[in-house]
Chain A
């Protein structure tokens, strides 16, 4: 891979791989994407709660978060 706009080839390869990963994620079936969104919610909620912003990841029956205790407030 050649350097593009001053980007070194190894960095360009990383960018290309990231782009491929995003395209692969976009091709996932919708239920798999919903599960990924729920994982993102869990990850983000930890950070957001630490900043004082209360959010509630989805508590869908059968999911790993089903029995999680709910926060007292939500924010979107």
Chain B
């Protein structure tokens, strides 16, 4: 995964996207026991086009130029299927902006904070999100003040109560 992260850093440096952070199951795994996943979810902040539309096409073009191939909704970067997800709402934008800087075997990278992962799970609302919230509550060292603030600002307190009480 080290080489995959190096490629993501190159794309960010070249301005293909403004900022990236690992999300999804791999981000959760940063804070919890390892969980099975077959892809690497990467949230990206993209520059809007002149029409205001956000497109992943520049990322795919840049990666195709480097010889990486698409596989269904992912693109295979150095053996890892990466799924790019544009920041689609204010919560994801905030999660990207405040993502945690990490060092992966000498390569800098970013991972969405555990508190934002919980909020994203609450917002998404699938059964596996509920399981992920439970695991993060059990195993991650959460900043409860930060979590309460995020849940309040993104109107997720009721969902949190429903899932945790």
Contacts and interface: CB of A to CB of B under 8 A. Distances in A.
Contacts of A60: 1-4, 78-80
A76 B26 CA distance: 13
A58 B79 contact: yes
A8 interface: no
A57 B38 contact: yes
A76 B3 contact: no
A61 B79 CA distance: 7
Q: How large is the interface on B (under 10, 10 to 19, 20 to 34, 35 or more residues)?
A: 20 to 34
A16 interface: no
Interface string B83-114: 10000000000000000001011000000000
A34 B31 contact: no
Given A31-B104, A76-B37, A76-B39, A61 B32 contact: no
Contacts of A44: 36
A22 to B, nearest CB: 5
A36 B33 CA distance: 9
Given A33-B34, A37-B35, A60-B78, A74 B3 contact: no
Closest CB pairs A-B (n = 8): A59-B79, A25-B33, A36-B34, A26-B139, A40-B36, A33-B34, A60-B79, A76-B38
Interface of B: 1-4, 26, 29-39, 71-72, 74, 78-81, 83, 102, 104-105, 138-140
